[in-house]
Amino acid sequence: MSSDINKKIFRSTTWSLASKVTAQAITFITTIYLAKLLGISDFGAINFGMLTVGLIDSIVDFGFLSAIVRERTITNEQLSTCFWFLLFISIIGIILIHVYTYIYPLESAYISVIEVLVYGLIFVPFQSITRGLVSRDLRLDTIAKYELFGGLIRNILSITGAFLGYGVKGFVYGFLCERIFVSICLGFATGWYPRFQFRLSSIKSFISFGVANVAARIVWYLSTKIDSFFIGLYFGKDALGLYALAMQIANMPFQLVTTGVHRVIYASFSKFTESPSFSYIIRKAAWLVLAFSAPACIGIYIISDLFVDVFFEEKWHPASEILKWLSLASLVQIYASVWPQFWNAIGKPSYGVVLNTVNIIVLSMILYYVGIYGDFEDIPIAVFLTSIFRLLIVCLLSKKLIKISFVQVFYESLFPLTGAALFFAWKGFSNETFTYSSDVFNLITLISGAAIIYLSFMLFSYKMPGLPVKKFISK
């Protein structure tokens, strides 16, 4: 790697991670206040609205952002054509959602949220182009800064609206304000604006790439969200509210990786697809992601009961058991999500379609069984088991595309997993040895002790000669 690219990757990764950690902290604080100000059913309504609009949101981009990043050369005519093409799709998406809410007998609480959130689709075309231009130059730190401030605006408006008695309206209008703010900032950062140019033939390669990319996104979205859709439609907004809170906490590491790290990984993979060390770069990226996510996800599992009791009211306690299984599922999903980034980088997004199609079929069958013979509490277990199956499929498909030994990958992964697994022993020792005056002190002790144990184990592994930890941590 050249020195300049190395610096850009490091700066982008650092800023993306820092901004996402900060954003997660702000969002978590916001969630605590909203959980006190809003009812469980309000959380369910917000979540279902985001799910519905998010499905169309994933289509509107049409994979053009990724296509712009991977194109070697690109013209203003192509960019403008992309914009008008995406704007047409976003308008169609808005119309389809309105038709859906009119025809399908949804609860009024769901409809009131969806009918506002849907207008956020208008900003997707412009953001897709400008994000792509910034990403091409590996200036992902620029996007991270704007998203951080945009998220702050959304969270402030959410709390203010709930405090003043406007319920979920503060959140939905805060969501729109965030979209507007980020769009304006990206416009200034790139200096790009759409021209009145449109030549469909100029983006033929974009469309062919986009069709496969969108197909993968739709199936991926459904495969990862179908559990929430199922709960919202089958068990109602109260059950979805509990599940949504647990999912939000469990997915904090997942969101950090997918939004803060994936964009850097994909851009980096795209630069080195023909490098002789491409296989090593993939393994290193996967290992580093696991090294950060394993302690976070297993840590959430360990402290789930205390976590919910300390930060949320008694009404939210049932979410703690859901949180346990979802945190383990999140860990598996995080690791499995790294490998498809190199599929896209080498122009094989169709593999994602295969993966997610199999995933959605398996999960749908399990949910169907749960709907007949099981109960709401069985769904998180089903999600975890499906995530294991998904990881196995990822390994099989990756091995078809690149020469790599998954026995070696498994051996390398044992170190962060073993370090995180020591948390279970620490929790048992802590509970038997110490007496706590409050749950807060218990929580602080568990978290601080687990952090020391994990860092000590990884440092020991780093110092030991012959182990793979040092080569992955070193630049």
What is the reported pLDDT for 193? 86
Interatomic CA distance for residues 423 and 76, integer angstroms: 54
Helices (H), 164-277: 169-190, 204-234, 237-250, 252-260, 262-271
pLDDT of residue 18: 72
Q: Report pLDDT for 84.
A: 92
Q: Which residues contact 34 (CB under 8 A, 6 or more apart)?
A: 43, 158, 159, 162, 171
Number of neighbours of residue 7 by Cβ within 10 angstroms: 12
How confident is the model at residue 3, as a pLDDT?
56
Structural contact between residues 186 and 131, judged by C-beta atoms closer than 8 angstroms: yes
What CA–CA distance (Å, rounded) separates 122 from 109? 23
What is d(CA 364, CA 225) in angstroms, rounded to the nearest whole number?
11
Q: Indicate whether this model's pTM tops 0.85.
A: no
The predicted pLDDT at position 323 comes to 95
Is residue 52 within 8 Å of 97, Cβ to Cβ?
Answer: yes
Q: What is the pLDDT of residue 451?
A: 94
- Mean pLDDT, the chain cut into blocks of 10 residues (475 residues total): 59 67 82 87 89 84 77 83 90 90 83 88 88 77 82 90 85 90 88 86 80 75 87 90 92 75 73 78 87 94 92 89 95 90 79 84 88 87 92 90 85 92 93 83 92 94 85 74
- Return d(Cα 454, Cα 458) in angstroms, integer: 6
